[in-house]
A and B are shown apart, each in its own frame.
Chain A
Amino acid sequence: MDHFIIAGKPYSSRLLVGTGKYKDFDETRRAVEASGAQIVTVAIRRTNLGQDASQPSLLDALPSSQYTYLPNTAGCYSADDAIRTLRLARELLDGHDLVKLEVLGDPKTLYPNVVETLRAAEVLVKDGFKVMVYTSDDPIIAKQLEEIGCVAIMPLASLIGSGMGILNPWNLQIIIDNAKVPVVVDAGVGTASDAAIAMELGCDAVLMNTAIAQARDPILMASAMKLAVEAGRAAYLAGRMPKKIYIASPSSPTSGIIGT
């Protein structure tokens, strides 16, 4: 079965999903199930003090027996904050050390600060984390992050939560061609065709959150995304026909046409 490997572990689903922006945990669970995702991102935040402790938690809705958690560093603008957050996450999840590193540069665009990202990645890899790193579509930075020892490179398609789709397939292609670790397109996917295009470029997987959570019907969109990732992957493996710019060629025979 087609699968890809992150830090030595195989995954058959090439769709990774976030757990944010849902109406409630029930919708989160149903959407994640419909997506077929095996890896889900979570954020690390202060617990609400004074809240009813018997309230179910996110991890109850998505049991660790079924899902691999990927704690993120959303909201971190410095390497120090990201490192601190992931160390807390590792403690929270009993030593689980597969993590998503993101260090943001500005709150309006949420564009990654790649300099701080490189700094954080060095420290985290040395500290034994298996780092899946969110980054820009700069091929040099992507390679440097790989050389630092990140287990997956996650270049953006476009701005987080924007749904703008794939802005620069050429850069993504360069990153994919040069990478020796999995490439997961992360951020900016808006609809099914975006996910399919990413897979057709040859990336290993796609990570999305808003595209599903903010669809009118998140459950239906989750299954659409599952199909899109599968379709895009199959098209990639099938080897597409070459593009013939402005050169048409009929698919029906040119001989035996009546009336000629």
Chain B
Amino acid sequence: MIELTINGAARQVSMPLNMIQLLEHMQLGGKRVAIERNGEIVPRSQYAQIELAQGDQIEIVVAVGGG
């Protein structure tokens, strides 16, 4: 079990998913997002290579309405 924080909420995943698998797992596959892992942006080109680790702090953001 890997315990991590996603968008401020404590979460668990059963194995070290890569970013693509994480997005699928969170039902965000195909959605336009940006991901930050432990304060660093994960480039989209590296989504398949970067895997979750214990204690990771993940931010997944989107564009919303704003002024």
Least CB distance from B33 to A in Å reads 6
Q: Which of B26, B41, B43, B61 contacts A45 (CB 8 A)?
A: B61
Contacts of B36 in A (CB 8 A): 84, 88
| In the complex, A119 has a CB within 8 A of chain B | no
Contact of B60 with A92 in the complex, beta carbons under 8 Å: no
**Complex Cα distance A84/B38, Å?**
12
A window 4-24: CB within 8 A of B: 18-22
Contact-residue bracket for chain A: 35 or more
Least CB distance from A148 to B in Å reads 23
From A46-54, A138-146, A191-199, give the one contacting chain B: A46-54
Contact of A87 with B65 in the complex, beta carbons under 8 Å: no
| In the complex, A201 has a CB within 8 A of chain B | no
**Complex Cα distance A89/B34, Å?**
7
Least CB distance from B7 to A in Å reads 4
| In the complex, A215 has a CB within 8 A of chain B | no
| In the complex, A135 has a CB within 8 A of chain B | no
Contact of B67 with A74 in the complex, beta carbons under 8 Å: yes
Contacts of B34 in A (CB 8 A): 44, 88-89, 91-92
Residue interface mask A59-75, B partner, CB < 8 A = 1: 10000000001011010
Residue interface mask B23-67, A partner, CB < 8 A = 1: 000111111111010010101100000000000000111111111
**Complex Cα distance A198/B66, Å?**
22
**Complex Cα distance A236/B35, Å?**
46
Contacts of A21 in B (CB 8 A): 65, 67
Asked whether A44 and B63 contact (CB < 8 A) given A49-B7, A53-B31, A59-B32, the answer is yes
| In the complex, A117 has a CB within 8 A of chain B | no
| In the complex, A42 has a CB within 8 A of chain B | yes
Asked whether A74 and B6 contact (CB < 8 A) given A53-B29, A57-B31, A91-B43, the answer is no
Residue from A42, A47, A89, A94 with most neighbouring chain B CB atoms (10 Å) = A47
**6 A–B pairs (Cβ distance < 8 Å), ordered by A:** A46-B59, A53-B28, A57-B31, A74-B66, A92-B61, A92-B62
Which B residues have a C-beta under 8 Å from some C-beta of A? 6-9, 26-34, 36, 39, 41, 43-44, 59-67
Q: A18-B67, A46-B8, A88-B59 are in contact. List 20 more A-B contacts (CB 8 A).
A: A19-B65, A21-B67, A22-B65, A41-B66, A46-B7, A46-B60, A47-B31, A47-B61, A47-B62, A58-B63, A69-B63, A71-B63, A74-B67, A84-B39, A92-B33, A92-B61, A94-B44, A160-B67, A161-B67, A210-B67
